[in-house]
């Protein structure tokens, strides 16, 4: 072993972690090399001093209690969503993430933008999707007799692919309204493998029912809960599962009365302790006098998705039940807890407020089989 190798293993030798063979080789070299001998001696002294335990002052006696208290305080702060030190880091990371996401988006646009522009049909569909979605929801919820013709662009094979990818659940899958080339009174829908053609006729309920069935057919997952305990006279007409919500339509056999119940799964914001509680209010709107049997699209009814977005869930319960006789559409919206999960229920029906209130009180949730 030479001086260079001794230097390599110098501190391992001083810390006594070399194997006996290596140790013997170093000691053999040290016998004949006073320079290395001196360096090793100095390093040995340094190692000895380094190994000597420093005097560490004791922590206060109540240190453990303080830690536990701080943990409890931090937990409370976290639950009440107040700012605590870690949130600053989260904010920093959020800003970084947004910057990165923006850069990524710009890159994607630069890479794929020209290709998208070449196929203007795709952009057209993407632009028109929200409008058609709104129309569909209104149509489903209001039960209007839609005489307008809806038709998919003929031969838009590329657009079908895009729609299949983006719809994912198919509740948004609707086509352009008033297409000049489409035959009146026909709806054509494409769901990849699912293709549904609905003949338009005077029975708007049948049309809406078919629309719902088409959507249900393409829904990948069943919703975890279902409404139970409705009056026996109501039978389930239809059920539509979408991502995070489910809409049930109940009707009476000898009547046109319908109850539409939308159940939306809410994010679990804090541990749920009670098992069944509710606070609700009634939204009451008069139906147009000119048409008592049907409600015009976009009037008189708010769709469940809109309800979910606009209602203040923590609002004080209010009941504005005023009229029994008028054929009005009332909407009750409230939260229910089931299996430690919160759900937002929105019940709409052309029923007197008191009756709707009674139905909502009896209504319960059960797990979907």
Partner 1 sequence: MISDESLAFQSLGGDISAFEELVNRYKKPVFSIVYRMIGHYQEAEDITQDVFVNVYQKLYQFDSNKKFAPWIYRIATNASISALRKKKKIVTLDFDEAYGKAYEDYYTAHSGDPQLMFEREELKHFIYEAINELPESYRAVVILRYQMDLNNQEIAEVLGVSKENIEVKVHRARKALRKIVEKRWNERGLEYELPASR
Q: Which residues of this chain interact with partner 1, rule CB under 8 A?
A: 8, 10-12, 15, 17, 38, 41-47, 49-57, 59-60, 63-64, 66-68, 70-71, 74, 86
DSSP designation for 318: B
From residue 201, alpha-carbon distances to 3, 179, 185, 207, 240 in Å are 100, 18, 7, 8, 22
- Nearest approach, Cβ of residue 99 and partner 1 (Å): 23
β-pairing, 225-228 vs 364-367, is antiparallel
Question: Closest separation between CB of residue 339 and partner 1, Å?
Answer: 20
Choice between 38 and 95, CB closer to partner 1: 38
Q: In the complex, what is the shortest distance from the CB of residue 327 to partner 1, in angstroms, rounded to a whole number?
A: 54
CB of 28 to partner 1, least distance (A): 20
Closest by alpha carbon to 222, among 251, 265, 261?
Answer: 265
- Tell me how far, at minimum, the Cβ of 69 lies from partner 1, in Å: 10
- Residues 147, 200: contact at Cβ < 8 Å? yes
Task: Look at the chain and count its residues.
Answer: 369
Cβ atoms of 324 and 308 within 8 Å: the answer is no
Which is closer to partner 1, CB of 15 or CB of 161? Answer: 15
Q: Which of these, 300, 323, 212, lies nearest to 262 by C-alpha position?
A: 212
- In the complex with partner 1, the residue whose CB is nearer, 85 or 155, is 85
The answer to whether 116 and 158 have CB atoms below 8 angstroms apart is no
In the complex, what is the shortest distance from the CB of residue 35 to partner 1, in angstroms, rounded to a whole number? 11
- 257 C-beta neighbours (distance < 10 Å), count: 15
CB under 8 Å to 174, separation ≥6 — which residues?
Answer: 129, 132, 133, 135, 136, 150, 189
8 Å CB contact between 235 and 253:
yes
Please name which of 285, 309, 106, 135 lies closest in space to residue 208, comparing C-alpha atoms: 135
**Closest separation in Å from C-beta 265 to partner 1:** 24
Q: How far is the CB of 41 from partner 1 (least distance, A)?
A: 5
**CB nearer to partner 1: pick between 32 and 254:** 32
Centre a 10 Å sphere on the Cβ of residue 174 and count the other Cβ atoms it contains: 25
- In angstroms and rounded to an integer, the radius of gyration of the C-alpha atoms of the chain is 35
Q: What is the DSSP letter of 192?
A: T
Closest distance between partner 1 and the C-beta of residue 342, in Å? Answer: 21
Residue nearer to partner 1 on the CB measure, 15 or 362: 15
Among 334, 362, 305, 293, which residue's Cα sits nearest to residue 133?
A: 305
């Amino acid at each position: 072993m030479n001086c260079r190798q001794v230097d390599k293993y110098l501190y391992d030798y001083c810390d006594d972690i070399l194997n006996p063979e290596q140790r013997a080789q170093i000691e053999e070299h040290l016998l004949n090399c006073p320079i290395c001998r001196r360096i090793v001696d100095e390093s040995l002294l340094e190692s000895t001093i380094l190994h000597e335990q420093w005097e560490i002052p004791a922590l206060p006696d109540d240190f453990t209690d303080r830690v536990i208290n701080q943990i409890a305080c931090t937990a409370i702060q976290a639950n009440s969503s107040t700012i605590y030190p870690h949130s600053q880091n989260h904010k920093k990371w959020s800003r970084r993430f947004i910057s990165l996401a923006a850069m990524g988006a710009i890159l994607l646009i630069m890479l794929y933008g020209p290709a998208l522009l070449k196929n203007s049909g795709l952009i057209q569909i993407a632009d028109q999707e929200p409008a058609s979605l709104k129309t569909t929801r209104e149509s489903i919820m209001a039960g209007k007799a839609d005489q307008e013709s809806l038709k998919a662009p003929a031969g838009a094979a590329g657009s079908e692919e895009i729609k299949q990818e983006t719809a994912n659940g198919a509740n948004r899958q609707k086509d352009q309204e008033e297409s000049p080339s489409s035959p009146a009174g026909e709806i054509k829908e494409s769901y990849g493998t699912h293709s549904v053609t609905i003949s338009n006729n005077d029975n708007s309920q049948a049309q809406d029912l078919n629309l719902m069935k088409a959507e249900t057919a393409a829904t990948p997952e069943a919703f975890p809960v279902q409404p139970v305990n409705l009056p026996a006279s109501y039978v389930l007409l239809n059920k539509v599962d979408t991502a995070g919500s489910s809409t049930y339509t109940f009707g009476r056999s000898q009547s046109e009365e319908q109850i539409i119940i939308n159940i939306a799964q809410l994010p679990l914001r804090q541990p749920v302790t009670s098992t069944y509680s509710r606070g609700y209010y009634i939204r009451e709107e008069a139906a147009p006098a000119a048409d008592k049997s049907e409600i015009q699209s976009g009037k008189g009814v708010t769709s469940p998705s809109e309800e979910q977005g606009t209602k203040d869930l923590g609002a004080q319960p209010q009941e504005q039940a005023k009229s029994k006789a008028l054929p009005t559409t009332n909407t009750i919206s409230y939260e229910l807890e089931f299996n430690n999960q919160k759900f937002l229920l929105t019940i709409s029906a052309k029923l007197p407020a008191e009756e709707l209130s009674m139905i909502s009180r009896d209504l319960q949730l059960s797990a979907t089989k």
